[in-house]
Amino acid sequence: MKIKWHGHACFEIKNGVTIVTDPHDGKSLGIKPPHVKADIVLVSHDHFDHNALRIVKGDYVAVKEPGERVVKGVRILGIVTAHDEVNGAKRGKNVVFSFELDGIKFCHCGDLGHRLSPDQIRTLGSVDILFLPVGGIPTIDIESAREVVKDINPKIVIPMHFRVAGLSLSIQPVDVFLTGIQEDKILRVGNEIEFAKEDLPQEMEYWVFSP
């Protein structure tokens, strides 16, 4: 199993099948564009920095809608959420996606704008790896992000959607979110990591990717 970060909320998760999340074109954000080939592309919402399907290569299936489906052998669940704290009135809707590869359950929150409800958490079920926006406006604030971590209780938290060099959006760097977390629970993994199910920790860890 391999996870590679392509900046912002765009990840490439590969294990036989390649899943790409929330592709962007790079130049619109001031960062390096992704170079990805996918079997499945998950798009959490239709904003320019998350829906650049044109940059993705391959004979892929794009999944944008909520609901449960099986695509190329992968069971995918999409849950409707909001991009803000007022049920989407400011920024529209957002889809939180969960999917499973090789017995590992992933959850990608897209541009989540609020804490999940108890019903949404129950629907998600257990999560091994959580991709969570941590840069603040236009997504959940830092405190809410920490509460989402407590609510879902994954084995691994992967922060995303935070400020990096060159990024044109006014969001916060990842270290603001990481303040107060024990240093031995933070793994700075570089641009990509390869692992197996048996490598997942017993106690929660934070895997921090860098460009």
Which domains can be identified in the chain, with CATH numbers?
A: 2-209 (3.60.15.10)
How large is the average pLDDT for residues 187-202?
96
> Under DSSP, is residue 193 helix (H, G, I), strand (E, B) or coil?
strand
Core vs surface per residue 21-55: b (16+ CB within 10 A) or e: bbbbebeebebebbebebbbbbbbbebebbbbeeb
Model confidence pLDDT, tens digit, residues 2-53: 999 999 999 999 999 999 999 999 999 999 999 999 999 999 999 888 999 9
Q: How far apart are CA 71 and CA 74, in angstroms?
A: 5
> Under DSSP, is residue 99 helix (H, G, I), strand (E, B) or coil?
strand
Model confidence pLDDT, tens digit, residues 54-88: 999 999 999 999 999 999 999 999 999 988 677 77
Model confidence pLDDT, tens digit, residues 127-175: 999 999 999 989 999 999 999 999 999 999 999 999 999 999 999 999 9
Q: Is the overall model pTM greater than 0.85, yes or no? A: yes
Q: Say if residue 109's pLDDT is above 80.
A: yes
C-alpha torsion sign, points 76, 82, 87, 91: negative
Q: Say if residue 118's pLDDT is above 90.
A: yes
